[in-house]
Amino acid sequence: MLGFILTTFLVGLTQGTLHHLVVGTVNGGSLYSLELDDAARTVTLLKNNSAAGASPSLALYQNKLYLYGIQASDATLSKYSVEQDYSINLQGTLELPEACGTRNFKSAKISPGPLNPYNIFGSASTGNCSTVFTTTRSGDYTFQSKDIVGDIRSLAWSSSGRHLYALDFKTNHILNYNIPDDPKLDDLVDIALLTNVTNPRQIVTHPVGHRIYVVTQDSNELLDIPVLQSDLMGTNVTAFRFNVLPSSLANSDYTTQSVAVSASNTTLWTLSRSYGMSVISAFSLDKTTGAVVKPIVRASWRDYSASLDSFIAPAPVGGDLIAITNSPQGVTAFIELQGTGLKSYPRLDLGQDLGEGLWLN
């Protein structure tokens, strides 16, 4: 009997997996290492690492031994090592390339290149003018695009890894860069207009379907855009459109800034916020084509934040687990889709305006 209980206990233990997430801040100087135990359903703050500065956008290098944080206000990109105990140590800091003769940036993003040479790609925007750039792992040299008259706020990779899509919040275009083995960002193959769209806020792609998804900030719409097998789009893009919010909520009260596809490849998430309430919505996707099928579940919570910036980070480990940072302000929350229901883990309040979450495992 005792043997049976012990065995059950051990099996229970080995089934649990530990996952780790790094979260940066918008104004502070910390990079937080969080641990999530999916069997015990606990979330703990493992390390409060000191960073070079704020790191609202983060990128993990391909070998997972380094991560990068970008900060618009001081126009820097910092490189950190990820240690075995999940401490994060600063390795060096690089100045961002200028755009339109200035480094007076209002926002910046980074994204790891999915193919060899695994450069880090980024964008920086003054609000009127932007640049897209790439650096090697060591940050030795930087190539950048021509100045872009517009406000690039979001980047995404085509499923082949050969095209980088940059979303312009101001002029409602998607810029499509061809990325060869020696990326120099000098091969802009499409400048596609999103017709009848304003304030497109974030772009993501489906990992296998040739599909782009965009959320619009003010009209709270989800755009589902098929792209050609070649990753090209043409000049004018017509999207399938979905309302993110139910008709019972007033669109004008909400902004939608975040969209993500979870590792199952069959669920898309959007997060919409007002001063008072946040709404997470999950849509089902066709596993092969990535086409949005239908909304499957929504949940809401009270939210009293000073800013409405928030981020969804899908866990890299199968399934439909996501981390939401900064909704409400300072909080990291974990939500999982199970069937057509949502399960949540305890939340961790870090007491600071948070940036993107980055999963290490």
Ligand X SMILES: *[C@@H]1O[C@H](CO)[C@@H](O)[C@H](O)[C@H]1NC(C)=O
Task: Quickly tell me which residue has 């640049």 as its tokens.
Answer: 131
Q: Which residue is nearest to ligand X (CB)?
A: 127
Applying CB under 6 A, among 264, 289, 300, 344 the residue interacting with ligand X is 264
Q: Is 102 in the site for ligand X (CB under 6 A)?
A: no
Closer residue to ligand X, CB minimum distance, 90 or 136? 90
15 phi/psi in degrees, rounded to 5: -70, -25
Window contacting ligand X (CB under 6 A); options: 79-87, 191-199, 274-282, 296-304: 191-199
Q: Which of residues 127-146 bind ligand X (CB under 6 A)?
A: 127-128
DSSP H helix total and E strand total for the chain: 1, 31
Q: Is residue 207 a contact residue for ligand X (CB under 6 A)?
A: yes
Could you say which of 195, 230, 307, 338 contacts ligand X (CB under 6 A)? 195
Contacts 24+ apart (CB under 8 A), 183-190: 183/113, 183/119, 183/121, 183/134, 183/143, 184/134, 184/143, 185/132, 185/133, 185/134, 185/143, 185/144, 185/145, 186/143, 186/145, 186/146, 188/145, 188/146, 189/163, 189/232, 190/232, 190/233, 190/234, 190/235
Q: Does 270 bind ligand X (CB under 6 A)?
A: no
Our finding on whether 196 is near ligand X (CB under 6 A) is yes
Residue 220 C-beta: closest distance to ligand X, Å: 9
Beta bridge partners of residue 194, listed in sequence order:
237
Least Å distance, CB 241 to ligand X, is 7
| One character per residue 313-332, x = contact with ligand X (rule: CB under 6 A) | -----x--------------
Nearer of residues 30 and 158 to ligand X, judged by Cβ:
30
252 — phi, psi (to 5°)?
Answer: -70, -20
Backbone angles phi, psi at 10, to 5 degrees: -65, -40
d(C-alpha 302, C-alpha 324), whole Å: 14
Number of residues engaging ligand X in binding (CB under 6 A) = 18
Among 46, 193, 232, 291, binds ligand X (CB under 6 A): 193
Q: Tokens 């790191």 — which residue?
A: 55
Q: Which of 165, 178, 169 is nearest to 149 (CA)?
A: 169
Window 21 to 40, contacts with ligand X (CB under 6 A): 30
Summarize as ranges the residues that interact with ligand X (CB under 6 A).
30, 48, 126-128, 193, 195-196, 207-208, 219, 235-236, 264-265, 318, 350-351
